């Protein structure tokens, strides 16, 4: 249940960063899956994730967080959720 909650929050955050309706952000959406999730969009997602989840994303990890599942896994690992 907690995991489902996290996925929804990440979906909402990604949608907000990409300026698209949440309905366009599927639980398995990945970078490039919609046109808004391009390079600029990706960095917008990273910055909003830092703000909303209180996490720190350094340059080493940016290239790995390219899907909703990967982002959820990282947030869980960093112990913020």
Partner 1 sequence: MSSQLHITPKVTIPDFLVGEVQSKLAYVDENIVGARIASTGDRITLDLREQAEGPKRSELEEKVHRVVTSMVQGAFKPKVQILEDYLDRPVPSSVDPNAELLVRGEMFQEAVGIFTLGPLVTRLISFFERQFIGLADSFGAAPYRFPTLIPAKSLERVGYFRAFPQSLSFVMHLREDLDAIDNFAQHAACDEHALNTPADSFARIQALLSPAVCYHLYFALADKPLPGGKMAATAVGNCFRYESVNLASLERLWNFTMREVIFVGPKDFVLQNRETGRERMRGFFEEIGLAYRVESANDPFFIGEFKKQAAFQSAFQLKFEIRAGLPFKQSTLAVGSYNYHQDFFGRSLNITLPDGSPAHTGCIAFGLERMAFAFLSQYGLDDANWPDSVRQYVLVGLL
CA distances from 54 to 16, 20, 30, 34, 47 (A): 16, 23, 22, 26, 10
C-beta of 1: minimal distance to partner 1 in Å? 33
Residue 17 is a binding residue for partner 1 (CB under 8 A): no
What's the gap between Cα 62 and its chain centre?
Answer: 11
Question: Whole-number minimum distance, CB 58 to partner 1, in Å?
Answer: 7
Q: Which of 2, 4, 58, 79 binds partner 1 (CB under 8 A)?
A: 58
Which of these, 58, 2, 71, 76, lies nearest to 31 by C-alpha position? 71
Build a one-symbol-per-residue string for 25-44: x at contacts with partner 1 by CB under 8 A, - elsewhere: -------x--x--xxx-xxx
Nearest distance from C-beta of residue 71 to partner 1, angstroms: 14
């Amino acid at each position: 249940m907690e995991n489902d909650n996290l996925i929804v929050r990440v979906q909402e955050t990604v949608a907000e960063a990409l300026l698209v309706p949440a309905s366009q952000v599927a639980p398995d959406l990945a970078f490039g899956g919609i046109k808004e999730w391009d390079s600029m969009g990706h960095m917008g997602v990273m910055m909003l994730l830092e703000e909303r989840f209180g996490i720190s994303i350094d340059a080493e990890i940016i290239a790995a967080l390219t899907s909703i599942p990967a982002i959820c896994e990282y947030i869980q690992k960093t112990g913020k959720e």
